Amino acid sequence: MTDKVVIFTGSKRDFDIFLQKEIKEYEETIPFMELIQHYNARLRPNESGVGEEALYSKIKVDNCIVRSDDYGSVLPHVLSNFTNIVTLNHDIGTLYVQNPPRRVIESLKAGYGDDIEYHESEYPTLTREILRKLYSTLNSDVLGQEECKRQIISGMYRLTTGSNSKPVVLMLYGPSGVGKTESAKSISRSMGGELLRVQFSMMQTQEAYDYVFGAEHSKSSFARDMVGRESNVILIDEFDKVNPLFYNAFYELFDEGIFVDTNYRVNLGQAIFLLTCNFRSEEEIKKVLGPAMFSRIGACIEYVDLSTGQKRQIIERWYEAVLETVEADESDYISETNIHDWFLKNAERYDNIRILKTKLENAIFEKLTDHFIIEENPET
C-alpha cells in the first residue's frame, strides 16, 4: 500500500532540492533499489539468505525514492508492473518518482489515477531584465562576435511575450573555435543550470538512431536527457553531421516543443535550441539541411574569425586564469619565462581558440614539469 504518490519531472539537482523540503530528518526513507532487492529476495528466497518471516511481512517506511537512473537497473517487467511490485512487500507513506518512463506512468495511473501529485523543474521565464543580464554576461564570456550576440538576444526576445509555446531554434555557424560553444555555455549559465550538450557526430548510425528514437529503457536517450536537463538551453553540436534520416524526429520538436520516443514524452515549449555547424554560408546550410529543416530554424547566425587583438585578449585572460590555479612559487617562475610574450607576439598564428588555449596551457605545465619535477629530481 502507498498513501501518496508524487511524480517529479526534471533535473537531479531540482529533485534533490524538492526532497530536502518534503522529507523530514526523522522519517525512514529507502531508495528504490533497496526495495527491489527485497522483491528479488522474495522471488528467490533460497538464494536471498533472508528469513521466511521477514520476506512475507510488510515493511513499513515513510518514504521511498525512485530516481531517474534507477529504471535502467531493472528488467522491463518491473516497469510494466511497477505499482504492484512497489507495494508487494512495503507499506509506503509517500512514493517519490523522478522522470518515470511511459510504462511506469501508466502503471501508477492505473493504481492511483487522479490522486497522483505532480511537480516539475521550473525554468526561468525570460524577461527584458534577464535578457539584459544575459547579454552582459555573454559580452564578458565571448570576445568579439558583436553582431552574433545581438542576433542571439534578438532570437530569444520573443520568449518574453509568452504568446506561444514554440521553442527558439538558432543555428550558429562559422569556423571552429571562435566562440559558438562558449556562447551556448554562457547562455546556459545565465539561465541557471548546466548546459545539455549533444554531439551526434560521436555516435555510429545505430547508436544515434537508438538515442534519438529511444530503444531499451536501460539506454541513454535524447528524450531522457532532455527531461532531466538543468537549464532550458540545449546545444546540439555539429548539427550538420546528424543523419538526414533523423530529421523527422526534430520537426515536431522545433515546431511545437514536443518530443516523443518509445519511453518518454517531453514538453520543451520555452526551450532554447542552439545548433552549431562549420558551414560558411546560409545558402550552404539550406542546401545540406534541406528546405523542411531549414524553415524550422529561427535564425542563422554567422561567427567570424577573431582579430589578432581579440586573440591577444584571450591569451591575457587564459594566462592569468591558469596562473591562478598553481602555487605561488610556480606562478612566480612562469612569470619569469617568455611564455606570455611569445604567445602575444604569435597570436595571429592561431585560428582556433580552443587550440590556442591548449597550447598556452601545455607550454606553462611543460615549463613547470622541467623546473619543479625533472630538474629538482636528484636521481636524474
- Please write the tens of the pLDDT for every residue from 199-223: 877 666 788 888 888 878 878 899 9
User: Residue 380 falls within a domain, yes or no?
Assistant: no
The backbone torsions φ and ψ at residue 96, rounded to the nearest 5 degrees and listed phi first, read: -100, 120
User: CB neighbours (10 Å) of residue 268?
Assistant: 23
Instruction: Determine whether 207 is exposed, middle or buried from the number of CB atoms within 10 Å of its CB (0-12, 13-18, 19+).
Output: middle
CATH number of the domain at 185, please. 3.40.50.300
User: Residue 379 falls within a domain, yes or no?
Assistant: no
User: Residue 29 falls within a domain, yes or no?
Assistant: yes
Q: Report residue 144's pLDDT band, with 50, 70 and 90 as the boundaries.
A: confident
- The position carrying cell 511545437 is 256
Q: Are strands 2-9 and 29-31 parallel, antiparallel or unpaired?
A: unpaired
User: Residue 24 falls within a domain, yes or no?
Assistant: yes
Instruction: Give mean pLDDT, residues 176-199.
Output: 90
Same-domain status, 146 and 283:
yes
The DSSP element (H or E) to which 34 belongs, if any, is helix 32-43
User: Residue 312 falls within a domain, yes or no?
Assistant: yes
Same-domain status, 314 and 366:
yes
Buried b / exposed e across 277-286, counting CB within 10 Å, b at 16+?
A: bebeebeebb
Asked whether 350 and 311 are in contact (CB, 8 A), the reply is yes
Same-domain status, 290 and 332:
no
Question: Which structural domain range is residue 47 located in?
Answer: 2-120
Domain stop point among 302, 334, 357: 302
Question: Which strands sit side by side in the sheet containing 196-199, from one edge to the other?
Answer: 196-199, 233-237, 272-277, 168-173, 299-302
| Dihedral angle sign, alpha carbons of residues 171, 197, 245, 101 | negative
User: Residue 295 falls within a domain, yes or no?
Assistant: yes
Across the chain, mean pLDDT equals 89
Instruction: Give mean pLDDT, residues 243-257.
Output: 87
E strands, the chain, are 2-9, 29-31, 59-66, 90-98, 117-120, 168-173, 196-199, 233-237, 258-260, 265-267, 272-277, 299-302
Domain stop point among 86, 120, 154: 120
pLDDT over threshold 90, residue 166: no
Q: How many Å apart are CA 344 and CA 320, to the nearest integer? A: 13
Number of domains composing the chain = 3
User: Residue 204 falls within a domain, yes or no?
Assistant: yes
Same-domain status, 211 and 327:
no
